[in-house]
Chain A
Amino acid sequence: MTQANVLLENKKTNFIPDSFNGRKLKNGLFLSIVILFSLITISLVFLIIGTMIFKGYHQINWAFFTQTPPNTFEAMMAKSSETLIPGGIINGITGSLYMVALASILAIPFGVLIGIYLYENSKQRYAGMIRDITDVLQGVPSIVIGLIIYLWVVVHITKGYSAFAGSVALSIMMLPLIIRSTEESLKMIPDSLKEAAIALGTPYYKVVWRVLIPTSFTGLMTGILLAISRILGETAPLMLTALGNPAINWNIVKPSSAVPLLIWQFYNDPNMVDLIWSSTLFLMAFVLILNLLAKWIAAKRKF
């Protein structure tokens, strides 16, 4: 008797309809749980965005992007006369952009070079150590990084809260993300491409510079954008390093404001609650756009 016949025979004798042993029921139950949970997650995101838009949209106007925040008295007056709170968060926007730009200038060259090193020497012990340390760095709580930078930079270098200290703290948070994304996107380049360049007599540093980096450019950009969107919302390390500033500041050794810092300040002032929501909406939109941009660039990569 062939195997198929045996199976057929068994099926005849032990014949039970599928629904009887509850297979379909279990499947249906599991599916509905999965769908329910995913709906909850999705609706949370929509709830967050919806709340922010609903509570924050009426404060979004020209002044919001061009003026510094009002003082408590101005805000209180506006509140009692039931008009919009005057002023905006321009000092936070400029501060955030300024510090993120400085942090990127510090972190991108380091991160990309370390990433290239890890890719080139992936089997060396020293490279393995760096990789592990990078993972540890990624896990360090941001407040700890803030404290350390306070001790190193605020106390000893700039002798006071400064945009520079904030940038250093943010760049340390960016580093592990950029290192790993650089390594990963370089790994996706087929070896044959590297060999093609080598076979043309290209010196190694030029292969890295003219072939590997341009080819993995989309991957590098994605990593950098995600790292930037990650640090844009960081508050804790900035509280201990950049402190905040009621005016626009471009001086690297002076305290500087940032959007998340302003949100924290607005939260502590009952008269300015309305500004929290518009600032949050702005921050969220900015990060969302960066994320979408990163996704779009990643989708365009060729292999």
Chain B
Amino acid sequence: MVIPSITSEINNMTVSPKLTETKDMTQPSIISIEGLSIAYDKDKLAVKDVTATIKKNAITAIMGPSGCGKTTLLRAINRMHELYPNISTNGEIKLFDESIYDMSTIQLRRKIGMVFQRPNPFPTLSIYDNVIAGYKLNGINLKRPERDEIVETSLKDVTLWDEVKNSLHKKGNFLSGGQQQRLCIARALAFKPDVILLDEPTSALDPIATAKIEDLLIDLKENYTIVLVTHNMSQAARISDNSMYMYLGELIEYDTTTNIFTNPKNISTQNYITGRFG
């Protein structure tokens, strides 16, 4: 059901090489990006005409060398760029066949959660309030048992519950970096989104905390769709189902992770994967 639209898009593409669809890439998709271009300055495109569909209940890794536009692409998916008026975006992104530009930002961001490179819990809020910050900040009133349940399930989902259940009403500052990052993931999960965007979520963490988050993401895949920007190729290889390789703003190759790592179609991808540059 998705292939026709993709193949027609491929025919229109001039810069990106042809994408090959394999059996694993035919799963139902949740997000479709069509001809997306993003510019920070006029005439300087950070993302050039990217077309891709993101598969449901899969981990999609976006990788590529620094400055290739992977974070820019990710942030377009929940319209974070609108915060900065100098950034112009062209093209279409659809979530469940509905244009994200037709949704209100609150609707959209409830459906697409985001986790950032550095853990950023709200320092003025307790751990409990941090988890339900999305509800609090938007003025959505929840009843006490409802709130408690959201906090507990979200924290259990990120395996943080046992570590913090006795200090829920303390500020989050005493948590370690890895715990803070899991708290931030819990904050994103509290809204029960369809998609979670992660922007290099482990780059500020030590290997043990990284391993925990990676395990967590694999578990979360069952109920959520995950899009992960990473500059760590082995991370992409370890946990992702599908991988995008970007270079200089272009989507060079998008395939199952196995194919990308074992049988890359493009020479640039091959060079990057084998560590010849990047």
Give residues of chain B (101-160) contacting chain A, Cβ–Cβ below 8 Å: 105-110, 113-114, 116-118, 120-124, 133-134, 136-139
Residues of B within 8 A of A217 (CB): 124
Q: Which 8 A-B pairs have the closest CB atoms?
A: A201-B109, A201-B106, A199-B114, A200-B134, A202-B137, A192-B120, A214-B124, A196-B120
A195 CA to B105 CA, complexed, in Å: 13
A211 touches B137 (CB 8 A): yes
> Which of B107, B124, B173, B187 is in CB contact (< 8 Å) with A200?
B187
- The chain B residue sitting closest to A211, CB to CB, is B122
A195 touches B83 (CB 8 A): yes
B184 within 8 A of A: yes
Given contacts A192-B120, A196-B184, A200-B109, contact A206 B138 (CB under 8 A): yes
Apart from A200-B191, A203-B106, what 12 extra A-B contacts exist at CB < 8 Å? A190-B118, A192-B118, A196-B122, A199-B113, A199-B188, A201-B108, A201-B109, A201-B110, A203-B138, A210-B137, A211-B124, A214-B124
Residues of A within 8 A of B106 (CB): 201-203
B242 within 8 A of A: no
- The chain B residue sitting closest to A123, CB to CB, is B86
Give residues of chain A (187-219) contacting chain B, Cβ–Cβ below 8 Å: 190, 192-203, 206-207, 210-211, 214-215, 217
Q: B residues within 8 Å of A by Cβ? A: 78, 80, 83, 105-110, 113-114, 116-118, 120-124, 133-134, 136-139, 173, 184, 187-188, 191
A302 within 8 A of B: yes
Task: Give the distance to chain B from A1, nearest Cβ to Cβ, in Å.
Answer: 40
A20 within 8 A of B: no
Q: A residues within 8 Å of B by Cβ? A: 190, 192-203, 206-207, 210-211, 214-215, 217, 302-303
Residues of A within 8 A of B114 (CB): 199
Residues of A within 8 A of B138 (CB): 200-203, 206
Residues of B within 8 A of A199 (CB): 78, 80, 109, 113-114, 116, 188
Task: Give the distance to chain A from B174, nearest Cβ to Cβ, in Å.
Answer: 11
A207 CA to B106 CA, complexed, in Å: 13
List 22 A-B pairs, Cβ < 8 Å.
A190-B118, A193-B123, A195-B80, A196-B122, A196-B187, A197-B133, A198-B80, A198-B83, A199-B78, A199-B188, A200-B187, A200-B191, A201-B105, A201-B106, A201-B109, A202-B106, A203-B106, A203-B138, A206-B138, A211-B124, A211-B137, A215-B123
Most A C-beta atoms less than 10 A away, residue of B80, B118, B121, B122? B122
Given contacts A201-B106, A302-B173, A303-B123, contact A192 B137 (CB under 8 A): no
A215 touches B134 (CB 8 A): no
A195 touches B120 (CB 8 A): yes
> Which of B107, B120, B173 is in CB contact (< 8 Å) with A193?
B120
Residues of A within 8 A of B123 (CB): 193, 215, 302-303
A211 CA to B138 CA, complexed, in Å: 12
A196 CA to B125 CA, complexed, in Å: 13
> Which of B109, B122, B184, B188 is in CB contact (< 8 Å) with A215?
B122
B137 touches A200 (CB 8 A): yes
B108 touches A195 (CB 8 A): no
- The chain A residue sitting closest to B110, CB to CB, is A201
B133 touches A200 (CB 8 A): yes
A217 CA to B123 CA, complexed, in Å: 11
- The chain A residue sitting closest to B184, CB to CB, is A196
A214 CA to B122 CA, complexed, in Å: 10
Residues of B within 8 A of A198 (CB): 80, 83, 109
